[in-house]
Amino acid sequence: MTVMAPATWWRGLGGLTRSGSSVEALAWALYDFANTIFSFAIVSFAMSLWAISFLGEADGQRWFGIAVSASVLVNAAVSPVLGAMSDRTGRRKPFLLFFTVLTIVPTALIGLVDIGLGLLAFAVANFAYQAALIYYDALLPEVARASAIGRLSGIGVGLGYVGTIVSGLLFRFTTDDAGDSTAASFVLIASLFALFAIPLFALVRERSPAGVPFRAMDAVRSWSQIRTSLRHARETPGLLRFLVGRFFYTDPVNTAIVVMSAFAVFAVGFTAAEALNILLLLTVVAVLASFGWGWLNDRIGPKRTLLFVLGSWAVGLLSLSLVLEPIPFLVAGAVLGAGLGGVGVTDRLLLLRLAPPERVGEMLGVYGLVGKLSAVVGPILYTSIVAALLPSLDRGAYQVAIASLLGLLAIGVAFIVGVPEGRPGADEPTVAATEPAIVPPGEAAR
């Protein structure tokens, strides 16, 4: 087997960029490393347990769910305007810098203020993190050559998974003897985000913008475009049905991402340190499984692959709703982790097969908005059920909450079954120009 020499690898990285700079390519990709540290360590792991430690098991989860859902709802409402601002002015980095700082500073403050302000700081940080992704993704075509967008995007995704593992390992140095987060944990994650985001702002060159000033009327047009896009989706056989189905089946996916640490600790009985180990293990499972789902997609097509993925999620959720024991939880977690990679690999390809070629960009925008909206409903539904039923059902409250996610998944599957296969091969020329296919754990489908 031939091993690529470091110098050859480094030159190859430069060949992906418009400027020919390997440094610029790595600087852009390191931002994925940085923001995944936040999404994994704060959203998926620390924040729910932190809220519970102050407010109790029921109220902590309820208010955490409200904070997550509110931050994503506001982001979904304003994301069309944020995207329009970027497109019209032709600028990415100033907006990206603003929202990056708006993520980092509140994250550092979470453990230094009372829990009410801490939850507010978390909501602001999570909103800003989601908003920053709009400009980070939009900056990719500025950096990468058109034929290399997919490859550089994939490098960013890979570094994102590395960020997940690194954050999990470093997080341990700031926890207490029981493995619980401390104020230093939030400062550490904010500092790591800032450190690894700096190369993008220092080294990535934004091409001279050819835009014009943003006006209030542009905001109105950006919102009205959503209505137009939905009308266009209705005109394409199966496309609107797919988007509605996606709303329901990504709801359990997005919810599992944000509640799994609290579920592992309070429903199953693991310690916080053990829960962190489990989430890191599921990250590895998701990475490995995504390759298998990609192979299956090539063999049988995205629709049938997606149905297999959703079927695996149904098995995992059903298991969790029936048995709350460590070994069954680990097995179910592995199944869900494998399916997490599968959703990211398959459902976007199905969209690309269904959407008319001239409307792919427009439909990807609606696709992303649907993912954001689904991340609003699931967490608040799940945490509200847990909070309401804990006094009477104890751990059974978690089983009922998981069963509610299983119901949402079943609705999504019912919609997808009636979606046509789409145009074979329609995904091939387009997929490289879209966002990364694998969703890192901690990052809501978008």
Note the pLDDT tens digit of each residue in 7-59.
565 666 778 887 888 889 899 999 999 999 999 999 999 999 999 999 999 99
381: tokens are 């539904």
What proportion of the chain, given as a percentage, has pLDDT over 70? 87
CA-to-CA separations, 378 to 75, 260, 375, in angstroms, rounded: 16, 13, 6
Alpha-carbon span 345 to 342, nearest angstrom: 5
User: Which amino acid makes up residue 146?
Assistant: A
Q: Of 284, 380, 389, nearest to 333 (Cα)? A: 284
pLDDT band at 228 (very low <50, low <70, confident <90, very high): confident
User: Pick the residue with more confidence: 360 or 22?
Assistant: 22
- What is residue 359's predicted lDDT score, i.e. its pLDDT? 80
- What is residue 138's predicted lDDT score, i.e. its pLDDT? 79
pLDDT in tens, 142-182: 888 877 776 787 787 778 888 888 888 899 899 988 888 99
Name residue 17's beta-bridge partners: 144
131: tokens are 């908003």
* Residue 348, φ and ψ in degrees, nearest 5: -70, -35
**Considering just the CA atoms, what is the radius of gyration of the chain in Å?**
21
CA 123 to chain centre: 16
Alpha-carbon span 366 to 409, nearest angstrom: 20
Backbone conformation region of residue 207, classed left if phi is above 0, alpha if psi is from -120 to 50, else beta = beta
Tokens 């506001």 locate to 74
Name residue 144's beta-bridge partners: 17
Cβ atoms of 346 and 305 within 8 Å: the answer is: yes
User: Pick the residue with more confidence: 133 or 429?
Assistant: 133
87: tokens are 């497109």
Cβ atoms of 384 and 62 within 8 Å: the answer is: yes
* Residue 144, φ and ψ in degrees, nearest 5: -90, 150
425: tokens are 């091969």
- What is residue 430's predicted lDDT score, i.e. its pLDDT? 43
137: tokens are 């993704």
Q: What average pLDDT does this structure show over 335-347?
A: 82
Q: What angle in degrees, to the nearest 10, is found between the helix axes of 57-89 and 360-393? A: 170
- What is residue 1's predicted lDDT score, i.e. its pLDDT? 44
CA 284 to chain centre: 16
Q: What average pLDDT does this structure show over 382-409?
A: 95
Alpha-carbon span 268 to 323, nearest angstrom: 9
In the chain, what is the straight-line distance between the N-terminal and C-terminal CA atoms, in Å?
Answer: 38
* Residue 17, φ and ψ in degrees, nearest 5: -100, 155
Q: With a cut of 90, say whether residue 90 has pLDDT above it.
A: no
pLDDT band at 433 (very low <50, low <70, confident <90, very high): very low
Handedness of CA 64, 68, 74, 77 (dihedral sign): negative
Residues in the chain: 446
Residue 116 CB neighbour total at 10 angstroms? 11
Q: With a cut of 90, say whether residue 308 has pLDDT above it.
A: yes
Tokens 């489908």 locate to 445
15: tokens are 């060949």
- What is the pLDDT of the chain when averaged over all its residues? 85
408: tokens are 């949402």
Tokens 């539904």 locate to 381
pLDDT in tens, 173-218: 999 888 889 999 999 999 999 999 999 999 998 875 655 566 666 6
pLDDT band at 139 (very low <50, low <70, confident <90, very high): confident
329: tokens are 């939880």
CA angle 276/100/345 to nearest 5° reads 55
Is residue 17 classed as helix, strand or coil in its secondary structure?
strand
- What is residue 435's predicted lDDT score, i.e. its pLDDT? 40
Cβ atoms of 260 and 49 within 8 Å: the answer is: no
Q: Of 40, 312, 294, 306, nearest to 185 (Cα)? A: 40
Cβ atoms of 152 and 144 within 8 Å: the answer is: yes
Residue 353 CB neighbour total at 10 angstroms? 24
pLDDT band at 432 (very low <50, low <70, confident <90, very high): very low
Q: With a cut of 80, say whether residue 105 has pLDDT above it.
A: yes
b/e per residue 198-234 (b: at least 16 CB within 10 A): ebbeeebeeeeeeeeebeeebbeebeebeeebeebbe
